[in-house]
Amino acid sequence: MLKRAIIRIITGSVIGTGIFVSALPITGTILTSRAYAAVVTATDPLIEKQTYLQQIHIQDAWGVATGNNNLIIAMVDTGVDLTHPDLLPNLVDGANLLHPDELPLDDNGHGTNVAGVMAAAANNDRGGAGILWNAKLMPIKALEADGTGGEAKLGEGIKYAVDHGAKIVVLSLGLNKYSTYLSDIVQYAEDHDVLLVAATGNEGNRVKYPAAYPTVLAVGGMTADKKTDSRSNTGPELDLVAPWDVFTTSLGGGYEYKDGTSMAAPQVAAVAALAWSKYPSMKPYEIRNLLRQKTEPLSGSGWNPISGYGLLRADRVMNEPYSEDMYEPNNRKDQASPISASKMISATFQGGGDADWYSFNAPYNGNVNLLLQTEEGYEVTVNHIQTSGAAQSYTFQAGGKITLPVSKGTNYIQLQLKDRAFTGKLPYRLTTSFDIYKDEFEDNDRQYTAYVLPIRSQTITGTLHQMNDQDWFMLPVEQSGFLRLKLSVDTARIDPVLYVQKQGEKGVTYDLGGDGAVEVMPKTAVFPGNYYIRVSNVKEYTFPVTGEYKLTVEYEAHLIDPNEPNDKPYQATAIKPGAPYDGVIESVTDQDWFLLKINSESFADLHLSGIPENVRLTMTVYDSNLKQLATATNTPGATTTDLSGRWQAGSYYMKLTADKPFDYQMYSLTADVTPLLGGFTDIAGHWAANDILAAVKSNLIEGYSGYKFMPDRTITRAEAAAILVRGFKLTKQKYIGYTDLSANHWAYSFIAKAAQAGIVEGYPDQSFAPDSPVTRMEMTAMMARAMKLSGKQRGAAPFTDTDDNYWGTGVLKQMKAEGWVSGFPDGSFRPEQPATRAEFVTMLEDILN
């Protein structure tokens, strides 16, 4: 028996034994709104303890049938107490697969619990009553005394049941491993018209196998307040739920409280047996359909992954008519019936005009496979609408399979016969199965194709999407430090294994936990070299898994400060502008000193980056006499801080201190020094620098914050008016009433004075557009008006891109003739091109001087 591939019974804890629990007696009245048979009750002395029978409304079902001696129900389990007086009347010969020469005696108790839920004899003046008062219960012992067993014995047990006449097989056991062996056995049962009913499991995780196979009726557990128990496994394979807590038979002829999905599954199997007594010709897929359609929805309508189709209702199964298509009406997208992305359903086409819409929720990106089973010779069209809204159409034959690419979220499919003229009724079965996406790190299934991760702390998400998938990663460690790895998964179908190896050395495997566990490589010293990391499922779990893993890498480098010793001002590291200087703070008393020399008045920007998020790093600036000038500290959680200012020529010291030491990450200090000309960082070397300096000195124009003049920035109409008023010392102003210029505008008085002097004017729509750019022609016209030049009409057009029809040609003629303007080397003036601040002040300085 493989260490990992162990079948386990699915059971909860013993709630108590022989303790009276207050509950309503199982009695009731006939509901007038339903044509139900009369209520029938059992008289057993402990029946009041079986409150779960009320929850599934069995008393209303017993009016139709109380048992079924026409079929065999097999239990593949730990065996049965063969002498229990409440079970003995309903037992038939079974088998002990562990010890073939012995009887299938229960040495655990689980099988006896399951048997009592289904078929404890009723009205015999002892114990309680099973859902089936009379039955043929075949015990097949395939599990050990501790409730575990091999996958092979489980398959053998199912096949034995099928081959020996069983019609229903109850499987209150499971494992997280998918296998083709068990899948084939499950299909063998389906092919022989045998219904398999299995518990989903009690870990609050994904549905276990064999419940997760498409044709197995998967049963979860429900609490007394009609909610899925938090411990009940859920997911796309879930069919329905039944009560979690039961009172049932126990070893030694006794009775006890038990709980878990193990106790829910036999309730469904027993009701299926009752249903077959009413509908003996039904196929297993029809019985599944019947039980699903007669459930009591617990969360909205239709199917969902938490409660499936809802709560088992024996009364509805036995009293309400069967519908061949439980999903109707679903002829429109807005009527789409929710179904699972991993299960078999059955429905019918009511003629060629019947369009069946379904919706399913893809748990991840990936593919959904559709298998359609119906009579041969019929083609079906499939329209698929993805979560994104993208649509695509397909056609497949009966028995054919198509694969739909899906994105995470709700997808829609429409099924319809291609032959729209078909007038009959055509049953079909649709099986869906989901394949998860291939992660972004593939192809990395071999060490030599390992995906290279950046050497830093990070968390990545991946999938095991293919057979024997294993994902390799490589960390190129350049600096000694510490490494910690954590591998977690979101499904118990992955039993994660973490393997770590430094190139050239022996690797270490981390596999301490079981299915769904977290594997951790503790904080370990690492040294320069390539470290390979392999993520895989345990070797026995070879098939693709619908689920994701997260690999968390925590890396702390222990770095050496290249500037040490620099703990004192006289040891300060001289730095060059623009060059980065990296370091660490090795202790709470460590001080890192740097020296910056500035040759002329400059704007200096000191930038610290790479600060660890949990560290407060303080930068203090001193002059040559160690007089403190400024200080800056990063805000909590910030990894950068800056300190800038206008500094005169001289020597400046910078001291770095931190509230806690760090040697696993380097900070970086950079000093950007820009010489100032006239208090600006952006006019040195500019063609208009002298005119700009003169204009600034005369207070004709100002710069911007950050010691910027922005000489090549477009000048606005408001700025132009202000400069002209200052330059020509205009004092008189008139009232102006432009629609887009309030009296509170900063340039109102300047524009009013310029308008009084006839230098500027508004537009025909009574606007001024103060923030609109000034063109080169408008600039020239403003200057001409300020100088009282009206232009001249005689002479040729002065520039190649203007003619006598252009509105400003006269002004250009006079301004060029008098030497105030000149064009570009190609002979053009480009009159409609926006004028820059440099061009404007240069022309004004020429005129004023």
CB contact set of 111 (below 8 Å; sequence gap of 6+): 75, 77, 78, 79, 80, 139, 141, 143
Kindly give the interhelix angle for 776-786 and 809-817, rounded to the nearest 10 degrees.
70
What sections of 632-787 are H helices per DSSP? 689-697, 717-727, 748-756, 776-786
Name, in order, each residue with C-beta under 8 angstroms of 283's C-beta and a sequence gap of 6 or more: 193
**Backbone φ/ψ region at 399: left (φ over 0), alpha (ψ -120 to 50), beta:** left
Q: State the DSSP code for 511.
A: -
* Catalytic residue selected from 57, 110, 384, 465: 110
**Peptide bond before residue 798 is cis, with ω within 30 degrees of 0:** no
Burial of 599 (0-12, 13-18, 19+ CB in 10 A): exposed
Which helix H or strand E contains 522, and what residues bound it?
Answer: strand 519-526
- The span from the CA of 747 to the CA of 718, in Å, is 6
Helix, strand, coil percent values for the chain (each to nearest 5): 20, 35, 50
CA atoms within 13 A on the CB side of 818: 17
Please give the order of strands across the beta sheet that includes 95-96.
Answer: 95-96, 134-141, 67-77, 166-171, 195-199, 217-222, 240-243
Asked if 77 is an active-site residue, the reply is yes
Contacts of 454 (CB under 8 A, 6+ apart): none
Q: How far is the C-alpha of 83 from the C-alpha of 80, rounded, in Å?
A: 9
> Of these residues, 183, 262, 342, 536, which one is catalytic?
262
DSSP characters over 777-810:
HHHHHHHHHHTT------S--SSTT--TTSTTHH
What is the C-alpha separation between 415 and 772, in angstroms, rounded?
Answer: 61
Q: Which two tokens stand for residue 161?
A: 């049941």
Q: How far apart are CA 833 and CA 828, in angstroms?
A: 11
Query: Which conformational region is residue 795 in: left (phi greater than 0), alpha (psi within -120 to 50 degrees), or beta?
Result: left
Compute the distance between CA of residue 382 and CA of residue 404 in angstroms, rounded to an integer: 10
CA 293-298-299 angle, 5° bins? 105
User: Among the options 44, 57, 60, 77, which is catalytic?
Assistant: 77
Q: Is 504 left (phi over 0), alpha (psi -120 to 50) or beta?
A: left
Rounded Cα gap, residues 587 and 567, in angstroms: 11
Query: What is the C-alpha separation between 841 and 484, in angstroms, rounded?
Result: 64
CB 251 within 8 A of CB 220: no
Q: Coil, strand, or helix at residue 84?
A: coil
DSSP per-residue string spanning 188-246: HHHHTT-EEEEE--SSSSBPPBTTTSTTSEEEEEE-TTSSB-TTS-BSTT--EEEESEE
Cis bond before residue 297 (omega within 30° of 0): no
Number of helices followed by number of strands (H, E) in the chain: 14, 39
How far is the first Cα of the chain from the last one, in angstroms, to the nearest whole number? 103
HSE value, Cβ hemisphere, 13 Å, CA-based, for 293 = 22
Calpha distance 318→278 (Å, rounded):
7
Report, as residue numbers or ranges, the catalytic residues. Answer: 77, 110, 262
